[in-house]
Structure 1
Amino acid sequence: MRFVTRGGLMRRRVAAGSAAVLALAVGVSGCADDKPPPPPPPQTASASPAESSALDPPLAFAAKPVRIPLPSRMFQVRDGAAYLLEGNNALAAYDLATGARRWSAPLAGPPVRLGNTGPMIAEVDGRPTAFVTYRVEIAGSGTVPDRTVLRVASFGLADGAPGWQSDVDDRGIPDDGSLGVDKVVAASSDHVVLSTDSYDTGGVSGDFTAVLDARTGKTRWTEPAFQARALDGDVVAGMSSEPHPDRTPSSTIGLAASDGSQVWAHEETRPVGNLINGPLGGGLLQVYPVGRRGDGPNGIVDLKTGREVIRLETGGSSSVCRYDDESVVVCSQHLSSRNGTMVAYDATSHKRLWQVPEKGSGREAPRITAARRGMVYGSTSNGPLILDARTGQDKVTDLPFVPEVVVPGFGIEVEQREMTVHPAVG
């Protein structure tokens, strides 16, 4: 690859005094007759919503989960709430602790397609804000035909109050496709980045990216044949889909968020996954080789410079990586049910921390599903478990389920039409 640059196990809380109450009940029963007392009812670990949200990272979960309807697999979680698009015309907030809907805000349009999308959240001028994109039809007049545009809308996270909305009207937007994806890929206090992937239309013509001002919704620039995947500061990283006079072809590239000019290129690579997948985080992007180096291992590049900082030692191109939102990147690869490898790296120094299995260890490498503040969540043939992200040692080996998303106070399973939320109790 060539590089071109410009620039305690589960803790359970039982109500105080329960042991005294149990002892009193046994004493009373003993006075009544000689039969042994009945067994006490089983205790179920629980925590208040406030207690749950303070448990970060969560290591134990309540037995009874909360279920929330989920029209698509894309959603965002912040401060104990899930934000998602429901039905055909509303952004909604659901309380993770109770499953109750906090608010629902209609989308102006109405949408002609939501595009399998979900919201993206950023803090703009101290105000947490959700951004969504969807397609609307603008009626024509006279000799001007009807046209479909990408509408981007902002909402206050506290109550769903609408903010600005902006229409991206560009000839480079691919034709509407029933299986395509329109998504706000990333947002910050300055920029909103949206991309499309109308892969059902065939070829690479389904890619399109626009960058908007986060405060006003004004379009900064648009770029057909480019699919954004991540944002770090003022650099938008993604893949160049087809030849362009000012782009490096067949490459992962970084563009300036201000004007779309090319900042760097990591040649003969593509970002791992697809537009539905979220970014790795930590200012990093996972890529895989294409072209002449198509049989090589994955790498991880720095989003601001495009420099490859980690060459994955797991080999092959199918590694799944997660960032723990603190200091560690963990990757796993499995070629069969038990033939796998897991390896962890420091997110700053990029040095390898540990690997499972090490030679002669006899350990089985877990399949990773999530990582959070020094913990790795996944499963082996023995079931779900949690590892210490900095040492690789087993932390919890009797986890009752495999969480796909882990946030402060909650572990979440994502199913076809709902999310199952498990409040933390330890």
Structure 2
Amino acid sequence: MATTAVTAALILVAGCGGNDKKSESGSENKGGESTTTSATPSAPTVPSFDPPKAFSVAAAYPVPDYEGREMYDDTKVGMVGQAALFVNYRGLTGHDIADPNKLWQIKSTEAETTTVSGVTDPMAVKVDGKDVAVVAYAQSDKGNGTQKSKDLVLVQWIDVASGQKLAEVSTPVVAAGGPSVLHISGAQYDPETGQVAIGVASSAKTSTVYADPQTKKGTELPDVLPGAVHNGVVAAAKAESKENADDAGAVLVDGASGKVTKQIPLKQGLLRPIGGGAKHAFFYGTVYPKGGDEEVASLYSVDLSTGAVVKSAPGLSARDSGGYQCIWDQATSIVCTKLQPTGPKEILGFDDSTGKKAWGFTSDSGQRIVPRVTAAFHGVVYVQTEKQPVLLDAKTGEDLPSSNPSPGETPSGSPTSGASPSDSESPSGGGSESPGTSAGGNDMSLYNGTQMSPDAVSPYGGVFGQLPKGSGYGSNDVQLVSIVMKPTA
């Protein structure tokens, strides 16, 4: 069963790039728009909770590895509306959690002369009232005919219900000294408008690409990296004018025109964007004080409307933290954790409406364990401790009650040892066909039985990535297993 599951999945996901073949049960992939298989006349309904606070494992999808995959091409998972997603350099794949037979795929490129060197996580936005996934790729076009080589940022907006592209914007990035390898250096999005600000970097420069699904246009904002985007305004970090100038600061930029509307001097030696919400962008800065020999670290929030600044002191030194990374709950809270995986740890919560620190603690505080933050959604922070998934209140940082399985308990919907999924769990519903051989590729035998904190959440469920298990699923076969969970509370 396991080998059959991988074979079926390899055939399906090969459509994300290379020489793809048309599935006998699916529709032809024309122009890279979408490939769907075994679509049903009407999608079943699934329970929804906003936000979900408990989950049950429902499906396991293998993500096939492929020959020639780049070292940094790690598959990222996402959750938008009723679709569980995974994306890599080849493209974006979506599984409808209400109908496991329904699968679609969008390629990252159709041109053989275009290579991909970076991709964002799937971002969840609304466009014309539809649940839409946004992905951005850093690309290099080697040229075609008389066209010169160029670097690009490609942004795609996909309706997750239909698997169709609603918009696509390809923006050239002008690199000093000519084209070079681009890497994604951050991505911010506006869930209300679908606008995105994608940070890219190369050996020659850094810049931000702003793109809008309504106008279908993109603008390069040179020499800055994005901290937040909302209603066409991008807040970004600008580096020092020269070494030891200590004049790194923030700017507000009109995304469509690229015009800087406000300069915000923060007088930092190094300034990094770490995340943003609808009202504030957040930055981490360090500077060596005159006559001092140790960096002083600060956290800043910048109001997207006025440029007003709020300064906070992190609980850890610059040496111990190495910076911070933040996640927005798409409501009112920003949650940040230290960047370095070793040494003391810290978690912080900010109020997006004021830009002020609301709560926080470090591993040196002695009272609580600093968990690993995996996702945040509408007031809930989803975290993982060494023993179990935990929920935190995004506004206060306090633990929330959860009815998720206790450690060692088999979650509802997961297979017991040696058991196969029931007929009702099979995508075909007939019971005579293994889920691994169905159009969707669901194979619950891939699930290792340990439910983890979700990497992405929507009202309709969550998803997390699991490393393959067993010798039958080595690095030559499966890169990752996408574990999909339905909400139960």
Aligned to 2:250: 252
Moved more, 99-108 or 223-232: 99-108
Query: In 1, Cα distance between the equivalents of 2:87 and 2:366?
Result: 47
Match of 2:383 among 378, 384, 388: 378
Amino acid at match of 2:201: D
The corresponding residue for 1:60 is: 54
Q: Which residue of 2 aligns with 1:209?
A: 208
SS of aligned partner of 1:385: strand
CA distance in 1, matches of 2:53, 2:276: 22
- 1:288 and 2:284 correspond: yes
Supply the distance in 2 between the matched residues of 1:153 and 1:334 (Cα, whole angstroms): 27
- 1:257 corresponds to which letter in structure 2? G
User: 1:343: Cα distance to partner?
Assistant: 4.4
Give 2:315's aligned residue: 314
Distance 1:213 1:394 in 2: 38
Cα contact 2:78–2:456 (8 A) shared by 1: no
When residues 146 and 140 of structure 1 are mapped into structure 2, their CA distance, relative to the original with a 3 A threshold, is: farther
- 1:421/1:243 CA distance change after superposition, 3 Å: same
The partner residue of 2:200 within 196, 201, 207 is 196
Q: 1:156 Cα deviation (Å)?
A: 4.6
Question: Corresponding residue for 2:223?
Answer: 225
Cα deviation 1:131-165 (Å, max 9, x = unaligned): 54443333243xxx632342635455143444565
Task: Please say if 1:102 is aligned against 2:94.
Answer: no
Distance in 1 separating the partners of 2:399 and 2:154: 44
Deviation digits for residues 14-72 of structure 1, max 9, x if unmatched? xxxxxxxxxxxxxxxxxxxxxxxxxxxxxxxxxx97444x1222222215553352864
Report Cα offsets for 1:338-389 as digits up to 9, x if no partner: 9555444433245555555899984444343333233232244554322333
Deviates more, 1:102-111 or 1:250-259: 102-111
Cα displacement (A) at 1:79: 0.8
Listed as ranges, the gaps of 5+ residues in structure 2 are 1-42, 65-72, 290-294, 408-450, 468-478
Asked if 1 retains the 8 angstrom alpha-carbon contact of 2:84 and 2:463, the reply is no
CA contact (8 A) 2:198 2:210 kept: yes
Partner of 2:140: 135
Partner AA of 2:457 in structure 1: V
Aligned counterparts, 1:11-410, within 5 A: 50-52=45-47, 54-63=48-57, 65-67=59-61, 69=63, 72-74=74-76, 76-85=78-87, 88=90, 90-96=91-97, 100=101, 102-107=103-108, 109-110=110-111, 112-118=114-120, 120=123, 122-126=125-129, 132-133=136-137, 134-141=139-146, 146-150=148-152, 152=154, 154-157=156-159, 158-162=161-165, 165-169=168-172, 171-172=174-175, 175-177=179-181, 180-181=183-184, 185-186=188-189, 189=193, 191-198=195-202, 201=203, 205-219=204-218, 221-241=219-239, 243=241, 250-262=248-260, 263-267=262-266, 268=268, 270-272=271-273, 279-292=275-288, 294-309=295-310, 311-317=312-318, 318=321, 319-332=324-337, 340-350=345-355, 353-356=358-361, 362-380=367-385, 383-396=388-401, 398=406, 400-410=451-461
Root-mean-square deviation over aligned CA pairs: 4.1
Instruction: Determine the structure 2 residue equivalent to 1:421.
Output: 484
Larger radius of gyration: 1
Q: Is the 8 A contact 1:184 1:193 kept in 2?
A: yes
Distance 2:187 2:339 in 1: 31
Match of 2:34 in 1: none
Q: Hey, what's the Cα distance between the residues in 1 that align with 2:183 and 2:56?
A: 37
Question: Structure 2 CA distance, aligned partners of 1:355 and 1:190?
Answer: 31
Cα distance in 2 between the residues matched to 1:404 and 1:225: 31
SS in 1 for 2:277: coil
CA distance in 1 between partners of 2:484 and 2:227 (Å): 27
Point out where structure 1 has 5 or more consecutive residues left out of the alignment.
Answer: 1-47, 274-278
Q: 1:321 to 1:107 in 2, by over 3 A?
A: closer
- TM-score relative to the length of structure 2: 0.60
SS of residue paired to 2:93: strand
CA spacing shift, 1:243–1:78, aligned 2, 3 Å: same
Q: Deviation string for 1:323-351 (max 9, x for gaps)?
A: 33323334445999895554444332455
Contact in 2 for aligned 1:334/1:367 (Cα 8 Å): no
State the aligned residue count. 359
Q: CA deviation at 1:99?
A: 5.4
TM-score of the pair, normalised by structure 1:
0.67
Aligned twin of 1:44: none
Whole-angstrom distance in 2 between the partners of 1:196 and 1:330: 23
Alpha-carbon distance, 1:126 to partner? 4.8
Q: Distance in 2 between matches of 1:183 and 1:349?
A: 23
Aligned residues of 2:226 and 2:273 also touching (Cα < 8 A): no
Distance 2:167 2:358 in 1: 45
Q: Which amino acid aligns with 1:406?
A: V
Could you tell me how far 1:101 is from its partner in structure 2? 5.1
Check the 8 A contact 1:320/1:368 in 2, yes or no: no
Identical residues among aligned pairs (%): 21
Contact 1:255 1:264 in 2 (8 A): no
Secondary structure of 1:57's counterpart equals coil
Partners in 1 of 2:386 and 2:87 — Cα distance?
36
In structure 2, the residue corresponding to 1:297 is in which secondary structure?
A: strand
Measure how far apart 1:231 and its partner are: 1.0
SS of the equivalent of 1:290 reads: strand
Post-superposition Cα deviations, 1:289-319, rounded to whole Å, max 9, x if no partner, equal 1333642232333334343335145243434
Output one character per residue of 1:153-198: Cα deviation in whole Å (capped at 9) or x when no partner. 5455143444565553454376332x73388653674855444222
Separation (CA, whole Å) in 2 of partners of 1:364 and 1:168: 44
Residues 380 and 236 of structure 1, relative CA distance in 2, 3 Å threshold? same
* Cα pair distance change 1:99/1:176, threshold 3 Å: farther
Q: Structure 2 vs 1, CA of residues 395 and 100 (structure 1 numbering), >3 Å: closer, same or farther? A: same
Query: How far apart, CA to CA, are the structure 1 residues paired with 2:167 and 2:173?
Result: 19
